[in-house]
């Protein structure tokens, strides 16, 4: 059930978490499906609800950098990144403390930690007091939710969905692997590679997909059900959809969605546009390619996962 986030409903949500139940809550990136990160049984409910393979680790959300040490062994680079970018859309992978449940880490010796900036997430973390394990609140392989309504579409039975409005970033957090030097980007996202480089003094490399065991890195992820193709210029039929940075050219048929020609604003609206087109029973969704520069890196990454290059048919 969707409830407006208030002091009362946030206290209720914290009580739910303490009882080992799941709660969906807003972050500045996407909505999360949260459970008490210290409880293996509670974390297992996340995997059951999502249909997510058990060896895929989840992010532990913390109120702030003061809690980093309790969950991870913190290398200097991670400390520096947390000081600068937390709370915010940055996830740090560090060696885990022995007490972190294997259910959270997928049995790996590392743990992913993030302090979200959304005031409702902050209030929930403070009320709860512990770490909240939370993947994006979507079924495995589906588009991440950026509104409470999206979460309800994914999990109609979920007892408590805190509504904190549409997410300001709209794409998932940047994940940085701090277990080795130089640090590497495992997933581009809300914090740009340039912003990271400015702080750490070198441009971090984007890790190769093949080396990783992260579900966000599977080729087909964040995907709509409608066949979705990346093209330079869309030429849709009447029963097809388009996501473009251009206005619809005169006389062109189909369902047309124009997104802003600016990466942050585009990223904020992308998932909602894909979801909306996906509900219309279209034959195909054509997504027009975005610029190749670094500012569009996180958007390009998500488009590559949602869409196939033109000519590739599922």
Contact residue for Mg ion among 136, 146, 173, 269 (CB under 5 A): 136
- Tell me: does residue 136 bind ligand TXA (CB under 6 A): yes
3-state secondary structure of 85: helix
- In order, the DSSP letters of 64-128 are SGGGHHHHB---HHHHHHHHHH-SSSEEEEEEBPTTS-HHHHTT-SEEEEE----HHHHHHHHHH
Give whichever of 215 and 241 is closer to ligand TXA, judged by the CB atom: 215
- Tell me: does residue 37 bind ligand TXA (CB under 6 A): no
Measured between alpha carbons, how far is 285 from 299 in angstroms, rounded to an integer? Answer: 17
Containing 120, the helix (H) or strand (E) segment is helix 119-128
- Tell me: does residue 105 bind ligand TXA (CB under 6 A): yes
Give whichever of 67 and 136 is closer to Mg ion, judged by the CB atom: 136
Measured between alpha carbons, how far is 164 from 180 in angstroms, rounded to an integer? Answer: 36
Contact residue for ligand TXA among 87, 130, 131, 135 (CB under 6 A): 135
Measured between alpha carbons, how far is 270 from 171 in angstroms, rounded to an integer? Answer: 8
Contact residue for ligand TXA among 63, 186, 191, 223 (CB under 6 A): 186
User: Which tokens go with 38?
Assistant: 């210290």
Contact call for residues 131 and 17 (beta carbons, < 8 A): no
Q: Mark 9-28 with x for binding to ligand TXA (rule: CB under 6 A) and - for no binding.
A: ------------------x-
Site for ligand TXA in 63-82 (CB under 6 A): none
Contact residue for ligand TXA among 74, 112, 272, 303 (CB under 6 A): 112
- Tell me: does residue 39 bind ligand TXA (CB under 6 A): no
Smallest distance from ligand TXA to CB 189, Å: 6
Name the one range near Mg ion by CB under 5 A: 10-18, 81-89, 132-140, 205-213.
Answer: 132-140
Contact call for residues 52 and 142 (beta carbons, < 8 A): no
- Which residue, 109, 26, 113, 103, is CA-closest to 67? 113
DSSP structural state of residue 67: G
Which residues sit at the interface with ligand TXA, rule CB under 6 A? 27, 29-30, 32, 56-59, 91, 93, 105, 108, 110-112, 114, 116, 134-136, 172-173, 175, 186-187, 214-216
């Amino acid at each position: 059930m969707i409830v407006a986030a208030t002091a009362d409903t946030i206290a209720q949500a914290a009580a739910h978490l303490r009882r080992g139940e799941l709660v969906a809550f807003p972050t500045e990136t996407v909505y999360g499906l949260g459970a008490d990160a210290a409880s293996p049984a509670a974390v297992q409910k996340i995997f059951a609800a999502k249909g997510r393979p058990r060896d895929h680790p989840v992010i532990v959300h913390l109120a702030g950098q003061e809690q980093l040490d309790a969950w991870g062994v913190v290398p200097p680079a991670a400390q520096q990144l947390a000081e600068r970018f937390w709370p915010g859309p940055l996830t740090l992978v560090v060696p885990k403390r022995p007490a972190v449940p294997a259910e959270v880490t997928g049995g790996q010796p590392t743990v992913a930690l993030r302090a979200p900036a959304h005031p409702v997430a902050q209030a929930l973390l403070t009320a709860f007091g512990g770490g909240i394990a939370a993947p994006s609140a979507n079924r495995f392989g589906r588009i991440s939710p950026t509104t409470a309504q999206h979460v309800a579409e994914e999990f109609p039975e979920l007892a408590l969905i805190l509504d904190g409005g549409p997410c300001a970033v709209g794409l998932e957090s940047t994940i940085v692997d701090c277990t080795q030097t130089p640090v590497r980007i495992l997933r581009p996202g809300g914090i740009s590679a340039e912003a990271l480089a400015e702080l750490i003094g070198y441009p971090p490399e984007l890790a190769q997909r093949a080396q990783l065991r992260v579900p966000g890195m599977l080729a087909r992820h964040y995907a709509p059900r409608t066949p979705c193709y990346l093209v330079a210029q869309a030429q849709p039929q009447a029963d097809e959809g388009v996501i473009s940075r251009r206005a619809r050219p005169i006389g062109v048929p189909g369902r047309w969605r124009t997104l802003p020609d600016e990466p942050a604003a585009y990223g904020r609206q992308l998932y909602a546009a894909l979801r909306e087109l996906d509900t219309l029973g279209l034959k195909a969704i054509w997504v027009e390619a975005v610029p190749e520069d670094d500012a569009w890196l996180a958007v390009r990454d998500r488009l590559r996962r949602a869409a196939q290059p033109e000519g590739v048919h599922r």
